[in-house]
A = this chain, B = another copy of it.
Amino acid sequence: MKLSQRVLTMPESSIRKLTPLADEAKKAGRRIYHLNIGQPDLPTPKSFFAGINNFREEVLSYCPSPGLPKLLEVFSAYYQHRGIPLTPRELLVTNGGSEALLFSFMAVCDHGDEILVPEPFYTSYSLTASALGIKLCPVPTFVEDGFHLPERGEFVKRITPRTRALLVTNPGNPTGTVYTQEEMKMLAGLVQDFDLFLIADEVYREFVYEGEYKSFLEFPSLWERVLLVDSISKRFSACGARIGSLACKNPKVMRQLYKLAETRLAVAMVEQMGAIALAETPAEYFREANLEYKRRRDVSIAKLQSIPGVYCRRPEGAFYILARLPVVDAEEFAAWLLRDFNLDGASVMLAPANGFYLTPERGRDEVRIAYVLREEDLANAFTILGEGLRVYNSTVASPVVSS
């Protein structure tokens, strides 16, 4: 009996290693501020629950594989309103953004094929690629540049005959970076010149605090080659619904995606009913959410930048900050915070950034901070972090001078 290399080589997440320590700390009566979770804390619109609470069928039957027609219309209307021209036939409802990603990878890559991706990137990309025997080729970006893109040559030199697609997250996770129009045009030219697919993960579209945001599907020249990965998880604080979508304006691609959708028959019916009802969410919901997160970002950045040795730049979107800490190993520090430190009975949980890098050693001194706590909690959490760093570096580790 042999387990597959595809699972054996998948890394276990560092968060998984830290969770037992956080549980221990809570058992010991300590309060833990979770800066590690990429899950919005704002209320899910009540319409979602109204949508499911009146749901009652004699038989809970399979939905059509591409999704409930009404939900496809709701998604189409949302995109049209946003200036993204997608018809219901160009859309699939998926089991969260995760399945949209899985289907994208399956549709464009065979075993051994390659996908370019700016690094750091969302952990599930490498796990999904491992599971499918696909090679991710990271293009490095850096905290000093606010994780903005390097010049085109850095992408070009990593393109091989096996390269099939470029994968980008915009706004970014774990970086919060929103690409400029110039960066998007560079990428658009690149995928056209090298005839690649562009897998665009835009699940944080509604969270942009600086400048104008454009979807990659707003470039008509890219219509045949963009696979748009999306989800209601962040947009509506509805991570638990597991309702995502995958869109493509190329009918040849959609035909193959339909086949993939048939392999798993359908997406959960009740959650789709809830997602349909979200269409009634007033525009203020997004405006208020945006203002709230922008305030939190500004509080977080100010507090972080005031901690000696911490380096980060102000990200333009999402609800993440990737920060460099004055430590050698952020995972060890994160474990120490949970295990050995508290300030007035409270500590913080961080997401070590090594899980967002494929290149060995990169991100070892970085952490991702998700500002999905209320402002006063954020302020407390950063006070604890600052004090934790001071104590750690004066008693546990030799201090590291930030470069």
Residues of A participating in the B interface, judged by any CB pair closer than 8 Å: 1-8, 10, 12-13, 16, 39-44, 48-49, 52-53, 55-63, 95-96, 98-99, 102, 106-111, 113, 124, 127-128, 131-133, 164, 195-197, 224-225, 237-243, 252-253, 256, 259-260, 262-271, 274
Whether A270 pairs with B274 at a CB distance below 8 angstroms is yes
Instruction: Please give me the residue from chain B that is nearest to A2 by CB atom.
Output: B164
Please name the residue on chain B nearest to A49 by beta carbon: B56
B residues within 8 A CB of A59? 39-44, 237
Q: Is B133 touching A264 in the complex (CB atoms < 8 A)? A: no
User: Contacts A42-B59, A262-B13; is A6 near B110 (CB within 8 Å)?
Assistant: yes
List of B residues within 8 angstroms of A96 by Cβ: 264-266
Give the residues in chain B near A256, CB-CB below 8 Å: 3, 7-8, 10
Choose from B132, B197, B267 the contact partner of A242 (Cβ within 8 Å). B267
Judge whether A10 and B259 touch: CB under 8 Å.
yes
A121 to chain B, nearest CB (A): 14
| Nearest CB in chain B: distance from A320 CB, A | 16
CB <8 Å contact, A60 and B41: no
* Contact partners of A58 in chain B: CB under 8 A: 43-44
The 19 sampled A-B contact pairs (Cβ below 8 Å) are A3-B107, A5-B110, A6-B106, A8-B256, A39-B62, A49-B55, A49-B57, A52-B55, A60-B237, A98-B264, A98-B265, A99-B264, A102-B263, A110-B133, A124-B264, A128-B263, A131-B260, A268-B271, A269-B271
Q: Which of B3, B42, B102, B270 contacts A252 (CB 8 A)?
A: B3
Given contacts A1-B224, A59-B40, A132-B132, contact A269 B240 (CB under 8 A): yes
Q: Name the residue of chain B whose CB is nearest to the CB of A128.
A: B263
A264 to B95, CA, bound (A): 8
How many angstroms from the CA of A10 to the CA of B268 in the assembled complex? 24
Q: A53-B56, A268-B270, A270-B271 are in contact. List 19 more A-B contacts (CB 8 A).
A: A1-B108, A1-B224, A5-B110, A7-B260, A8-B256, A39-B61, A41-B59, A48-B60, A49-B55, A60-B238, A60-B239, A110-B133, A111-B111, A124-B264, A239-B265, A240-B270, A242-B265, A243-B268, A270-B274
